[in-house]
Structure formats: structure tokens, C-alpha cells
């Protein structure tokens, strides 16, 4: 079915009233879910899965896709407002987003996050429709060595995220790798560092750790500083609710870059929105005119990762729809949803269920528009929420985190983990360590270990396997170059600063 035919078909499917309704409902729920820390898209989709049985297949799946996108949008909201990543991909948004909020620029930050997400999401869907089939085959070229190389790349990029001491940044990344090893080891199943707690056998969850390190720690730090005197920072006069012209000029390149980076990484199996947002942020730091500003509240630091993680979402649908390969737990869930309805995604999907395929694609586009329209007016509301006196606000923030942590697995253990990391995060703040790198290393460590061990098992213990695989090799070389380029560029910059000072 050629493109034009497909699009008109999609049009007709999407614009049926009930499908639009489903898309809208999905977006609303998704946004809500994204805003509430802890309840991630996985939980939301699984809760609503049964309701999709009632309606017809396409409508149900449109709603689920809406939820998925919605959570991306919602997750950025909490990252910016209270420094709690709504979900993993939003961690990077915290870096500059929260700083912007502290400077009274929460509105523009939220706005730019929404716009960047929209532009990137739209573009990625267009790209999706154009290049889906050829790119799908790419998935098959990616084996364990490639995954390992991607993980190495991701970890290398992490170092670019730090705005402080390099040594401390590396220590945080290493600590993240160590904590990532908590749980059952990927090859053999031997429990490591679980202290006899069965719930830890699956590892330290990203969500409770992130909520603790970012959210709880932030609250504790604020409590320590002062509760009596109003926290001056967030109550500062909010300067405008939307990004201004200067903001747009600063972010333009970031958005374009984020879109392409994110889409590309989303398509690659093993790439997900986390790696996408990290890569985009790191890349932006390299090409930015004012890299030193990133990390302190630069709007490009919000635009780039936000664009990237939405573009990655679009890209991630490709392996799912064309090959039936889910690249992340959420995708696996959507795959499950497909299967309940008796639909087998794969190369035959476009042929067998064209209404589903095109309808889904198009509804994503419509969903993006809906989300933008939904989120913009909410910005004003969110800003008002910030004005609630902190004395009353902070227990509510804590409560949301507690509930969020509990509902992850219906277990108080996750809550305990979160509180523990809250304490740790508080200490980290005092001793000036950056939690973002820790969290991201926590996620990527297991991927690296699993792929590396499997690569070695495949090659019979021979590290040379990496040399024999061009894709993996190039990724590794690229990572190496990145790694050495950072200190070199810093040195060059320092030299030019010194020489310009001397003049």
C-alpha cells in the first residue's frame, strides 16, 4: 500500500470520532501518569489494558499510544518543577529544567519542553512513515556486541553531562555501575548484594532510586536550609509563561539536533529514550555556543533532551511494528496488547492490518497535537501550584513520591529503597556529587554487563569478536574519541582563555 493511499486511509481511521476520543483520553491519562512520579507508563498501560478489550482494537491501541506519549510530556513537568524525573528519560531534563524553575523561568521551561517534544514527535512520526521498512532491517544487524558498544557509548556520553568536577562525576558513574549490579547477575542468576532481600533480586529499581535521589533529597535539602523563611527561589516573580523570542533562537539548533539524534537512537535496538536524551544533551554541549551555561538553566539544555526523547519514542515504534521487536518494557507491553487482540506485529503487519498500522501512526501525530494543546494552558496552573507555601507543599510532594513508589510493584520495599536513596541523595548534595550520572549509570551498567558477557560467551571468550564486527567497532571507536576529546577540548579552552586574559 503506497504512502498516499495509506495516509488517506489513516485519515479516515483517525478522524472517526470515537478514535479521537480514545486518543484524547489516552493523552490525558498519560499526562497525569507522567506527572505523578513513580507510576510509569508501564503501570498505566497495564491498568488500562483490560478496558481496551471492550472497544475495538484500533481504538484501544490508539489510546495506549496516547498514554505512552502523554507520559513523556508529563514526566518533563515534574522534572522541571520539583526536580523529580517523572520517568527515566526525564532525568536529563532535570539538569537545566529545574535550574530554570529556580530562576523563576518555570513557564518558559515547561513551554519549551512541550514545543520541543511536539516538533520532535511530529517529525519522528513523519520519518517513521517514510523510512520504516528499510530501517527495520537494521534491527537484525544488531547483536550482543553492538548492544555492548552502545552501552559503552552511553556511559562515555555520561561524562559530558557533568558540570562540575570530572573525578567526582566519574565516581558517581562508577557508583551507579556498582549499584546497578545489585540483584541477580545476568548470566548465571546468582544474587549479588541483595542482603537477603528477595525484592532486590531484580535489582534496584530506577524509579525509586531516581525519586529518592532527586525528589526526596531535594525536599530534605530544602528542609535543612530553612522552612520558616519562605524559600525565595521558587516564589520569585515568574517572568512570563512562555518561551520568548530569544529562547526560540537559543533552542532552534537544539531541537533539530535532538530530533535526529533521538530518532536515530530510538530505531536502533538497544537504544531507548534514556540514551537518546543523554546523547542529545551531550551533543548539544559540544555544539553549543555557551556550553558553560548548560547545567545552570540554559533553555537549550531542556530543548535538546526533550526533543530527543520524544523522537526516540517515534523511532522505537519501528522495530515494534515492523519486526515485532520491543525495544523497551513499554514496547513489550504494547506488544502484549497487540497479542491479546490477536495481532502479530511484524513484517506482515502493514499488509494484514493496514488500518491498524496507519491508524496508529496517524493517531500518534494527532496525539502530539492534543498533548501540546493540553499542556500549554496547564503551565499556568503548574506555576500556581509552585506558589503554594512550601510548608504545605513538601508533605504533598513526599506523599506523591511514596504512593508512586508503592504502586510500582505493590510493595513497600520499593518505598524503603526510595527513602534510603533520599537520604543518600541528601548527603550527595551536601558533599557536592551529581545524582544524574549515578542514575544513568545505574540503568546502563546492567545492559553493558549482560551484552559484554554474552558477547564473550558467543565468541568463546575471545575479545576479538569486537574487532570482527564493523558496527560495534565503529561505535566503540567513536566512544573512545569522545572520551579523549573531552579533556582535550577543556584544555584547549583553558589555554585560549588564559591567552586571551593575558592580552
Partner 1 sequence: MKHADRISSVFFFLLGIAVLLKGLRFGLELNQTVGPGFFPFAAGIILCLLSFVLFIQPQMRPRPLAEKKFRINWAGWKGVLLTLLALGAYPVFINSLGFLLSTLFLLFFLFRAVARLKWQTVGVAGIIAAGGAYLIFEIWLKASLPRGFLGF
Partner 2 sequence: MKRHGRSRKYLWVILAIVLLALPSTSGFAADKFPSKQITFVVPWAPGGRTDIVARLIAPIYEKILGQPVVVVNKPGATGYVGLKSVAMARPDGYTLGIASTTFILSQYTGESKIRWEEFKWIGQFYSTAYGIWVNSESPWKTIEELIDYARKNPGKLKHGNSGHGALQHLLAEGLSKDLGIKMTQISYKGDGPMTVALGSKEVDVVTAPLVSARALMEAGMIRALAMASDKRSPNLPDVPTLKERGINFTGEVFEGLGAPKDTPDETIAILENALEKARKDPGLGEALKKLDVVLEFRNHKDYTAYIDQQDKRYHELLKVVGLIK
The position carrying cell 568536577 is 165
Query: Nearest Cα to 117, choosing from 285, 346, 311?
Result: 311
Closest distance of CB 471 from partner 2, Å = 12
Looking at the Cβ atoms of 336 and 416, the one nearer to partner 1 is 416
396 binds, among partner 2, partner 1, none (CB under 5 to 8 A by kind): partner 1
Q: CA–CA separation, 121 vs 262, rounded Å?
A: 10
The dihedral over CA atoms of 466, 469, 471, 475, expressed in degrees to the nearest 10, equals 20
**From the list 55, 186, 354, 416, which residue makes contact with partner 2 (rule: CB under 8 A)?**
186
SS3 192: strand
Closest distance of CB 395 from partner 1, Å = 4
Query: Which residues lie below 8 Å from residue 404, measured CB to CB, with a gap of 6+?
Result: 36, 37, 38, 39, 207, 211
**Contact 159/436 with Cβ under 8 angstroms?**
no
Residue count at the site for partner 2 (CB under 8 A)?
49
Closest distance of CB 229 from partner 2, Å = 26
Q: What track of x and - describes contact with partner 1 for positions 164 through 203 (by CB under 8 A)?
A: -x-xx-xx--xx-xx--x---x-xx-x-xx----------
**From the list 149, 152, 219, 334, which residue makes contact with partner 1 (rule: CB under 8 A)?**
219
- The C-alpha cell at 460 is 568463546
394 binds, among partner 1, partner 2, none (CB under 5 to 8 A by kind): partner 1
Looking at the Cβ atoms of 219 and 364, the one nearer to partner 1 is 219
Q: CA–CA separation, 450 vs 444, rounded Å?
A: 10
Q: What track of x and - describes contact with partner 2 for positions 353 through 392 (by CB under 8 A)?
A: ----------------------------------------
Query: Nearest Cα to 450, choosing from 181, 203, 187, 180?
Result: 187
415 binds, among partner 1, partner 2, none (CB under 5 to 8 A by kind): partner 1
Segment near partner 2 (CB under 8 A), from 3-11, 160-168, 197-205, 251-259?
197-205
Q: What track of x and - describes contact with partner 2 for positions 46 through 85 (by CB under 8 A)?
A: x--xx--x--------------------------------
Q: Does 458 bind partner 2 (CB under 8 A)?
A: yes
Report the site for partner 2 in 397-436 (rule: CB under 8 A): 409-411
Q: Does 102 bind partner 1 (CB under 8 A)?
A: no
E strands, 123-203, are 183-184, 191-192
**From the list 1, 8, 133, 141, which residue makes contact with partner 2 (rule: CB under 8 A)?**
141
Query: Nearest Cα to 35, choosing from 1, 84, 101, 2?
Result: 84
Residue 432 has phi, psi (to 5 degrees) of 65, 60
Exposed/middle/buried for residue 156 (C-beta within 10 Å: 0-12, 13-18, 19+): buried
Q: Does 181 bind partner 2 (CB under 8 A)?
A: no
Query: Which residues lie below 8 Å from residue 246, measured CB to CB, with a gap of 6+?
Result: none
Full DSSP string of 278-341: HHHHHHHHHH-S-GGGTTSS-THHHHHHHHHHHHHHHHHHHIIIII----SHHHHHHHHHHHHT
Q: Does 134 bind partner 2 (CB under 8 A)?
A: no
Query: Nearest Cα to 273, choosing from 327, 337, 324, 318?
Result: 327
Residues that bind partner 1 (CB under 8 A): 39, 47, 165, 167-168, 170-171, 174-175, 177-178, 181, 185, 187-188, 190, 192-193, 216, 219-220, 223-227, 391-392, 394-396, 398-399, 402-403, 406-407, 410, 412-413, 415-416, 419, 422-423, 426, 430-433, 445, 449, 452-454, 456-457, 460-461
Residues that bind partner 2 (CB under 8 A): 42-43, 45-46, 49-50, 53, 139-144, 184, 186-189, 191, 198-199, 201-202, 269, 323-326, 329, 332-333, 335-337, 339-340, 342, 344-348, 409-411, 450, 454, 457-458
Amino acid at each position: 500500500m503506497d504512502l498516499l493511499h495509506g495516509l488517506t486511509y489513516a485519515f479516515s481511521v483517525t478522524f472517526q470520532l470515537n478514535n479521537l476520543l480514545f486518543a484524547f483520553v489516552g493523552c490525558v491519562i498519560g499526562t497525569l501518569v507522567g506527572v505523578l512520579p513513580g507510576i510509569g507508563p508501564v503501570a498505566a498501560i497495564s491498568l488500562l489494558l483490560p478496558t481496551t478489550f471492550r472497544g475495538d482494537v484500533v481504538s484501544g491501541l490508539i489510546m495506549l499510544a496516547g498514554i505512552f506519549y502523554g507520559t513523556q510530556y508529563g514526566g518533563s513537568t515534574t522534572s522541571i518543577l520539583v526536580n523529580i524525573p517523572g520517568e527515566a528519560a526525564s532525568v536529563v531534563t532535570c539538569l537545566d529544567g529545574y535550574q530554570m524553575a529556580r530562576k523563576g523561568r518555570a513557564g518558559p521551561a515547561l513551554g519549551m519542553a512541550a514545543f520541543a517534544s511536539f516538533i520532535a514527535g511530529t517529525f519522528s512520526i513523519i520519518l517513521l512513515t517514510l523510512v520504516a521498512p528499510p530501517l527495520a532491517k537494521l534491527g537484525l544487524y544488531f547483536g550482543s556486541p553492538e548492544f555492548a558498544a552502545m552501552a559503552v557509548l552511553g556511559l562515555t556520553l555520561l561524562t559530558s553531562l557533568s558540570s562540575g568536577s570530572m573525578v567526582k562525576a566519574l565516581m558517581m558513574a562508577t557508583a551507579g555501575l556498582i549499584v546497578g549490579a545489585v540483584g541477580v547477575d545476568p548470566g548465571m542468576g546468582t544474587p549479588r548484594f541483595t542482603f537477603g532481600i528477595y525484592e532486590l533480586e531484580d535489582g534496584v529499581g530506577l524509579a525509586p532510586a531516581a525519586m529518592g535521589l532527586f525528589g526526596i533529597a531535594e525536599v530534605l535539602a530544602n528542609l535543612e536550609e530553612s522552612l520558616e523563611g519562605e524559600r525565595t527561589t521558587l516564589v520569585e516573580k515568574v517572568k512570563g509563561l512562555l518561551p520568548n523570542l530569544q529562547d526560540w533562537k537559543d533552542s532552534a539548533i537544539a531541537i533539530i539536533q535532538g530530533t535526529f539524534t533521538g530518532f536515530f537512537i530510538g530505531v536502533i535496538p538497544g537504544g531507548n529514550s534514556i540514551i537518546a536524551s543523554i546523547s542529545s544533551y551531550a551533543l548539544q554541549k559540544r555544539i553549543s555556543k555557551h556550553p558553560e551555561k548548560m547545567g545552570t538553566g540554559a533553555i537549550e539544555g531542556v530543548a535538546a533532551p526533550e526533543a530527543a526523547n520524544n523522537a526516540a519514542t517515534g523511532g522505537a515504534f519501528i522495530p515494534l511494528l515492523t519486526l515485532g521487536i520491543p525495544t523497551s518494557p513499554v514496547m513489550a507491553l504494547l506488544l502484549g496488547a497487540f497479542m491479546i487482540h490477536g495481532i502479530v506485529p511484524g513484517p506482515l503487519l502493514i499488509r494484514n492490518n493496514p488500518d491498524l498500522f496507519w491508524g496508529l501512526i496517524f493517531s500518534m501525530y494527532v496525539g502530539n497535537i492534543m498533548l501540546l494543546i493540553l499542556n500549554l494552558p496547564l503551565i499556568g496552573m503548574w506555576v500556581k501550584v509552585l506558589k503554594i507555601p512550601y510548608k504545605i507543599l513538601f508533605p504533598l510532594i513526599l506523599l506523591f513520591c511514596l504512593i508512586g513508589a508503592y504502586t510500582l510493584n505493590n510493595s513497600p520495599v520499593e518505598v524503603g529503597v526510595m527513602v534510603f536513596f533520599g537520604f543518600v541523595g541528601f548527603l550527595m548534595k551536601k558533599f557536592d556529587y551529581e545524582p544524574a550520572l549515578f542514575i544513568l549509570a545505574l540503568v546502563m551498567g546492567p545492559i553493558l554487563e549482560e551484552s559484554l558477557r554474552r558477547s564473550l560467551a558467543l565468541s568463546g571468550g575471545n575479545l576479538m569478536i569486537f574487532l570482527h564486527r564493523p558496527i560495534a567497532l565503529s561505535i566503540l571507536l567513536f566512544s573512545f574519541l569522545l572520551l579523549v576529546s573531552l579533556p582535550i577540548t577543556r584544555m584547549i579552552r583553558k589555554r585560549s582563555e588564559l591567552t586571551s586574559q593575558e592580552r
